Structure 1
């Protein structure tokens, strides 16, 4: 198997793309990886054929996602080393360890809404708090496969209920744009362009460095307003491609009134 047999591009070209994306010089990458800048240059230009170990060593220093590390190995003529669980319903049934871990994590946040998404923000699993937030929504946006970012910003989705839509939209678009740039994923770039074209305005303050921590989600609700702070959790030690790409977003009540409303609407099961 040649370097180009699977990907159509040499492994050196792909590694150079990741180095440029991470804004590292050949010297900086060489120092990080404990090799010479000359060797990095030779790998990138094709004058040296890297071993599988060298590909993984460079990929680790470049913080390349596991899925892309497998592609680098294939481009270099080696077999992938990271497994990939199937996220379809049949594979994530009762007893599946990935599904069990997700269900436990989501249930632990109850009654705060929490959901698990894949690398393209497709809904994988959710707890009952999410159902409470989305109550009354119908149509294609809530029919599988559900993209949670599209659902949140679309005029037929959650957007009309978001009090601070411009601010929240700015936060979501900034986060998604950064993710698309860091991963080089064309599907994320396409999703960003799609959501950018939706109405709703954009608050520039959501682009500030602290925005990931402090931008609230304020929702209109019967009898008042619910305010949430969003957190995103990933499986940092995962060695499976699919599990590494999963993220759990939790909407924590930001005030006592929201916490009380959640407890009233979603009392503990008997």
Structure 2
């Protein structure tokens, strides 16, 4: 490599660092950052309770709410339908909140700026956050599914494993949306304020309250471009069919695509510090 006044040999450390910043993930910084995030998260007992304990507690509360509700023959019980919805909604909502707040805290405290002055790249950082919070989401989904299926008697035609997988995918979507929205917030409070803008419309239009096919045409069009609509439809397909249907496969692929897109946009908008 030629420079003014001489050459820098190929084995020079600066040359290797420049080359090392190209291509895919850098394993050592990625693993170290993932470990740091998990350790930091484990030390925040309130966040752990919100991620792992609260969803299962609310599902248990719902079980007692619907315990004496009338049930028509041949129709899923009200608890089965509501619980299946919650197993998809909780990972999306909780991981969006936790991720957006945590990322904004990293930026406001200057931690993000210090991290990005190291060989760790944006891709490594976002992949580490995605991995760490996906592990947390897996813990949430595991406990929630165990409580729902084995303790509270949730009954679905499809495999509980499929419900678990869809819950994890929804959590990754929540992580991606949280990382993306945190780039536009200047405080943790502003990060929370993105929830009514990003999450609430999806919950209103995904078919939980009103079936999508009876919505006005223009609301159906909006619903068709919101990932939560496909996440809920996939869960309902698993609840109604013993095998993975083509509709469920399509819906899962759409949610995964949205998650990847959100992660990519988050990487493109990542700033070192809050202005």
TM-score, with length taken from structure 2: 0.21
Q: Which has the higher strand share?
A: 1
Q: Which has the higher helix share?
A: 2
TM-score, with length taken from structure 1: 0.21
